[in-house]
Amino acid sequence: MSGLKVDLDWSDEGLFQAPLRLDTEFVFKRMTEATLTAVRQGDHRAVLDVGCGRGSDALRLCGPGRLVVGLEPSRIMLRTAREN
């Protein structure tokens, strides 16, 4: 594991060109819906969003009595999540 490297300055800027292709938009929408549905169906008082990126899913998972923690190694993406 000593050779493992993590890009702490990774950003998703420029990763996708707007507008998104319909298939890409569909996949992202379904992944988000599936995650939100799974969390909302249970009695989850704490949620850990690993690789939270911009934090948009973590924001949507927030609710009364629920602790949501976003974990993101990239300083750039974490700064964006904090701004959100």
| CB contact set of 59 (below 8 Å; sequence gap of 6+) | 84
**Quick one: what percent of the chain has pLDDT higher than 70?**
99
Question: Tell me: the pLDDT tens digits for 21-51?
Answer: 899 899 989 998 998 898 888 888 899 999 9
Surface-to-core class of residue 10, CB atoms within 10 Å of its CB (0-12 exposed, 13-18 middle, 19+ buried): middle
Distance of CA 43 to the CA centre of its chain: 20
Residues 56 and 32: their CA atoms lie apart, in Å, by 10
